[in-house]
A = this chain, B = another copy of it.
Amino acid sequence: MNLQQFRFVRETIRRNFNLTEAARSLFTSQPGVSKAIIEFEDELGVKIFERHGKRIRGLTKPGVQVAQVIDRIMREVDNLKKVSDEFARHNEGGLVIACTHAQARYILPRVIPAFRARFPKVRVSLAEGSPPHLAQLVLHEQADVAIATETLALTPGLASLPVYSWEHVIVVRPDHPLAQLKSSEAKAITLEQLAAYPIITYDHAFSGRTTIDEVFASKNIKPDLVLEAIDADVIKTYVDVGLGIGIIAGMAFDPRRDPDLVGIPAGHLFGTHVTRVAVKSGVFLRDYVFVLLEMLAPELTRDVVTDAIENNHTN
């Protein structure tokens, strides 16, 4: 029994039970993989793979169990490398942050410079995508953390924690009728008023778009959605050229930086949203990952995060 056999079994499963592909992706010979697996099965005394003649088609019943244990073992083996790296190359290494455009553009700029200053040798990279995609990145260990909306909390295998809450903002041109409202009128703006104008907002699955749809639907209002985009910059641009009114996440609007637009808080219409951070449960986190999280939200201390990972919390 050896680690190589575990790798071969795992990769064969991942490659849809194709030994040839498994061998190729592990840079070794196909007969070697075949032999190692057969020897492994012999040692365990059970067949792991369902064979139809000479074709491997799937896992046997014991194979399912064995595969689960192997997954856990290999995850821990990976952790071994990370644990030692933490000491051998303290404060060196890579950090992949999977996040949506909104985080990359409006939240992380407050954090990354300080992080870089503290960990100059850590190579930071941002992977943008839709929340479900981000969850997959973390789940497949292609990213260390994901920062996105509530969706993350629903993904099995991830431990997620709340970072901050925010509300939507309606953005309009200064010459737009909605921009003329008095402060008290703006606070009481209704869905019906909004629906009177063409609307530009996020693509599905982004920044609370689902909620926006639900809110309109619950009042049986069909908004006139003229454009959908995955980021607020694009939305603001089209609002600016007069295509309609925008509904964006609050953090994406700043009166000082967006002097050509007027923002109207819309929390009373679309509710409060929580941006969450997620890490894969069971994986070892480098020290600087904990620091990053604490920079994002001071309440995300090492203890809180560790607890969430170990007990697979989803607070």
Q: Which residues of A contact B (CB under 8 A)?
A: 1-3, 44-46, 61-62, 65-66, 69-70, 72-73, 76-77, 79-81, 83-89, 284
Contacts and interface: CB of A to CB of B under 8 A. Distances in A.
12 contacts: A1-B3, A2-B2, A2-B3, A44-B81, A46-B84, A46-B87, A46-B88, A69-B76, A69-B79, A69-B284, A70-B80, A76-B76
Contact of A76 (B46, B62, B72): B72
Nearest to A282: B72
A84 B42 CA distance: 11
B76 A73 contact: yes
A264 to B, nearest CB: 47
Task: In the A-B complex, list the 4 residue pairs whose CB atoms are closest, starting with the nearest.
Answer: A45-B88, A44-B84, A62-B87, A46-B84
A46 B81 CA distance: 10
Interface class of chain A by DSSP: helix
A84 to B, nearest CB: 4
Contacts of A61: 87
B83 A62 contact: yes
A127 to B, nearest CB: 27
A62 B84 CA distance: 6
Contacts of A84: 44-46, 62, 65-66
A77 B69 CA distance: 8
Contact of A80 (B44, B79, B87): B44
A113 B128 CA distance: 63
Contacts of A65: 83-84, 86-87
A3 B5 CA distance: 11
Given A2-B2, A3-B1, A66 B44 contact: no
Contacts of A73: 73, 76-77, 80
A1 B45 contact: no
A89 B85 CA distance: 41
A58 to B, nearest CB: 16
